[in-house]
Structure 1
Amino acid sequence: MMLAMKFQKQPIKLIKPSVPTPLHLKHYKLGFTDELAAFIDVAIVVFFNKDNNHDGKFVGKLEKSLEKTLTRLYPLAGRYVAETQTVECNDEGVEFIQAKVNIKLEDILSPKVNVRLVDEFIPFKTKARSDVLAIQLTTFECGGVALGVSATHKVVDASTLCTFLNEWAALNREENEIKFTGPGFISSSLFPARGVHPLPLPLITDSDTLSKYTIKKLSFSESAISNMKAKAISSGKLGTRHLSKLQLVSAIIWKAFIGVDRVTHVNPRESILCQSINLREKMASPIPKHSCGNLWAICATESTMLETTQELAIFLYDSVKKHINAYSKVPHDSDEGQTMVLNSFMNMTNIPESTNMVPLTSWCKFPFYEADFGFGKPVWVVPVTVPMKNVAHLMDGAGGDGVEAYVVLEVKDVPYFEEALDVNVFGT
């Protein structure tokens, strides 16, 4: 279902740090994990119900608390310079757009709404932009609000975006005034620059080509996931494995993508699912949980035959466990640790074009639903999906329960994907 949305936007404001960034912090050099990040945005929209605190002063309060947050996370108010792979922390500020939309919050929350409409709640973004962060605050007719946040992936990953939102929320609640709970941006000190090129992702940039794609939303309730776990355990094939909800849902989506590939290609192809691993608190020399920057690696899992969903889930479990165990044994600042992280990206560039590669991103377990700005926790948090063929983006469900999956597909492939979905009988 498409909504006839009309936005009234006020002129852009530039929100700057409340305290000028010191001279010795003016140039933030990217690390190699930042260098490898694609030229895309990491973006999310957070929806809140109407609250009595949504008075005439609440926008001004958000701006003031944002100023304080930017003082702590100062690269976000700077400008990215591609030629030098640096962020010039010149306090130019963050674009802040205030808007009104002619619908009610319940309209956009309807399960029948085309999820592509969520893109309208983030600031307009262009490929050539140099600003690191932009924000759009939209008020619905009913008084509910949507907070759209978009940041360049060259500087920010999902964990960083979540840390920023929760820090801003805490300051807006007038808590955590004394000390920032995290170490700030440290990816360049952990993984020094190597002059490597970004990963070559098959992004869809042409508008005509993009029109051939759609985003399919899948919702998995906690009860459905529990039932799948119970069936997997009763099969007796898991051994000592305890499958997570992420592995179960990922396996279902992966199998559906394999099913599409079997229909659209004459000969069966090897399939590889590529997912990210958050390196925070994973390595032998622990990286603090709230560290900022691109602090992740890639875990690739192979499938050569048309396995069952259960077998795919087991492959994912074993693959992730193997990678995490390996990272846990090496310090991040050792030659072995640096090489291990770098090779996880480089191995992805060596995957043959003939392979059915399925990129999957999960933001599950990141506490986006804890971002309470003083007017209640979010009722819905939606990631803005990267325009790339056969990609899946997983997120905790509304209120933090279950899993929601956003899958980018060619329109012509949707029937094959739906036919291959294995959501009723786990293991068939």
Structure 2
Amino acid sequence: MEISIVSKEVVRPSSLDVHLLKPFKISLLDQLTPTTFSPLILFYPMRNTHLKGTQISTQLKESLSKTLDRLYPFAGRVRDNLIINDYDEGVPHIETRVNTHLFEFLQNPPMELLDQCLPYPPFSYQPNPDQVPQAAVQLNIFDCGGIALGLCLSHKIIDGATTSGFLRSWAANSRGACHEAVTYKNLSESSIIFPPQNPSPNHHLSVMEKIWFREAKSKTRRFVFNAKAIASLRSECKGERVSNPTRIEALSAFILKSVMLAPRSTANSRFVLHQAVNLRRLTEPRLSTFSVGNLFLFASAAYNMEHAAEMELHELVARMKQAVGSINREYLKILHGDESFPKVCEYIKKIEEVSTHKNLNAIISSSWLKFGFNEVDFGWGNPIWSGISGEFGSFRNLTIFKEIGSADYDNAVEAWVTLD
């Protein structure tokens, strides 16, 4: 399979008024988030549309330009790890041709080729944040007319919920349902709750970069857990302290246990699971998905190898639940406002402490189950599948859970597991 680039251009906001807007303040949590691209690839067969490749490309670019009028931070660049400005820098847009049929490609998606559908290397450390676009698009058109829409979103200001809001708004503009697109005006709520520090807290950012990235060879594998397998794992995870484990808790425990029992583990090994916790659901009132920024914290649970063989799945889940439960509404109130910086520093110090071990095996876990990525309709129906990437760059061990979105796999979950 060959992917050939046909064109490269930049999509900018359609309204000139956007360039008159004030710089967008990023939040303290954004300042402490390393710069890397989160990928997503949406596959559409295009069977129920008369649109050709050039028409699809034009429709996507025009609707994206309109979307950037409202979600203008996506068009800018980060400056001094404090603000986003220069909204005329825009969103890179690449168009390619793929010399195979979409369904042939999807019969057994080649992991190593997924990255070629993306405009930038995914999950790789970006050392020059001021040069990094907040979003980039690659439209891949197959011989049959089907498409793969490859997206790279900068994690500097964009988490999973922000990505969901952006895609829903862009798709609504594309299919002519402008009333469903974003009309939300207060995009900067996160920087109000977590005010940025000036000068930038670069020392604490470097700590997070060490936790996120490492130079090591890794492999990514995709595992599919059907409803029956998930139900069996959930039953196995029940215990005295865990009455009703969730799908993600059961799958996380199963994967963690498998890693702990891998042959390379030693008696001195230590395992830490960092689980991303969405803060939007904990705020009062609940924040919109159109609040631009990283509104999540890691709940960290540590496990020593000497107890690994004896620990049952329900014991692993109980420790996970305890860690996640500590990030609650009361804890979030402590982090709010002008006094948030010292409290957030304490949070980072705790993560650093549990991550400091000679034989450390840290795993970052993130659930994309409720972001609706399989329901993004640009006017030609929902995607038949969504992929992530073939390689996860220099990112530390990472597990991402997502729904398959196929009627043949009802309630099934994909686990994209990267391990070094």
TM-score, normalising length from structure 2?
A: 0.85
Which of 65, 68, 72 is 2:66 aligned to?
A: 68
In structure 1, distance between residues paired with 2:312 and 2:105: 36
Q: Which residue of 1 aligns with 2:190?
A: 187
Q: Give the match's secondary structure for 2:47.
A: coil
Q: Which residue of 1 aligns with 2:288?
A: 288
In structure 1, distance between residues paired with 2:240 and 2:17: 53
Which of 257, 260, 282 is 2:259 aligned to?
A: 257
Residue 189 of structure 1: CA displacement? 2.5
Residue 374 (str. 1) matches residue 379 (str. 2): yes
Change (3 A) 1:255 1:22: same
Residue 252 of structure 1: CA displacement? 0.9
Which of 146, 153, 160 is 1:151 aligned to?
A: 153
Q: Which residue of 2 aligns with 1:333?
A: 336
Q: Which residue of 2 aligns with 1:299?
A: 299
Residue 201 of structure 1: CA displacement? 3.3
Change (3 A) 1:226 1:217: same
Change (3 A) 1:362 1:104: same
Q: How does 1:26-425 map to 2 (within 5 A)?
A: 26-53=22-49, 55-56=51-52, 57-81=55-79, 83-111=80-108, 113-125=109-121, 127=126, 128=128, 129-177=131-179, 180-182=182-184, 183-194=186-197, 195-197=200-202, 198=205, 199-201=208-210, 210=217, 213-233=218-238, 237-238=239-240, 241-260=243-262, 263-304=263-304, 305-306=307-308, 307-324=311-328, 326-327=330-331, 330=333, 333-334=336-337, 340-350=343-353, 351-354=355-358, 355-384=360-389, 386-387=392-393, 388-399=395-406, 401-410=411-420
In structure 2, distance between residues paired with 1:45 and 1:23: 30
Deviations 1:253-283 (A, max 9, x none): 11112122xx324423332100111111213
Residue correspondences, number: 394
Q: Give the match's secondary structure for 2:249.
A: helix
Mean CA deviation greater in 397-406 or 357-366: 397-406
Deviations 1:354-400 (A, max 9, x none): 23322222222111112111111111112236323432222222437
- Check conservation: 1:72, 1:184, Cα contact below 8 A: no
In structure 2, distance between residues paired with 1:223 and 1:335: 48
In structure 1, distance between residues paired with 2:237 and 2:212: 36
In structure 2, distance between residues paired with 1:190 and 1:375: 38
- Check conservation: 2:273, 2:365, Cα contact below 8 A: yes
In structure 1, distance between residues paired with 2:373 and 2:297: 21
In structure 1, distance between residues paired with 2:320 and 2:214: 31
- Check conservation: 1:181, 1:290, Cα contact below 8 A: no
In structure 1, distance between residues paired with 2:42 and 2:18: 32
Q: Which residue of 2 aligns with 1:419?
A: none
The letter of the residue matching 2:411 is D
In structure 2, distance between residues paired with 1:284 and 1:338: 20
Residue 202 of structure 1: CA displacement? 5.9
Deviations 1:166-199 (A, max 9, x none): 1101111111348625443433232111222321
Residue 406 of structure 1: CA displacement? 1.4
Change (3 A) 1:216 1:73: same
The letter of the residue matching 1:201 is K
In structure 1, distance between residues paired with 2:56 and 2:377: 13
Mean CA deviation greater in 141-150 or 54-63: 54-63
Residue 217 of structure 1: CA displacement? 1.3
- Check conservation: 1:389, 1:409, Cα contact below 8 A: yes
Residue 285 of structure 1: CA displacement? 4.8
The letter of the residue matching 2:385 is W
Q: Give the match's secondary structure for 1:193.
A: coil
Which of 12, 16, 20 is 1:16 aligned to?
A: 12
In structure 2, distance between residues paired with 1:303 and 1:318: 13
In structure 1, distance between residues paired with 2:147 and 2:240: 44
Mean CA deviation greater in 126-135 or 146-155: 126-135
Deviations 1:193-228 (A, max 9, x none): 12223212366787xx54xx3211111112221232
In structure 2, distance between residues paired with 1:291 and 1:172: 21
In structure 1, distance between residues paired with 2:18 and 2:145: 40
Deviations 1:49-83 (A, max 9, x none): 223325132321211111110001001111223x3
TM-score, normalising length from structure 1?
A: 0.84
Sequence identity percentage: 26
Q: Give the match's secondary structure for 2:16.
A: coil
In structure 1, distance between residues paired with 2:213 and 2:25: 29
In structure 1, distance between residues paired with 2:377 and 2:412: 20
- Check conservation: 2:68, 2:74, Cα contact below 8 A: yes
The letter of the residue matching 1:386 is F
CA RMSD between the two structures = 2.6
- Check conservation: 1:69, 1:167, Cα contact below 8 A: yes
In structure 1, distance between residues paired with 2:36 and 2:346: 22
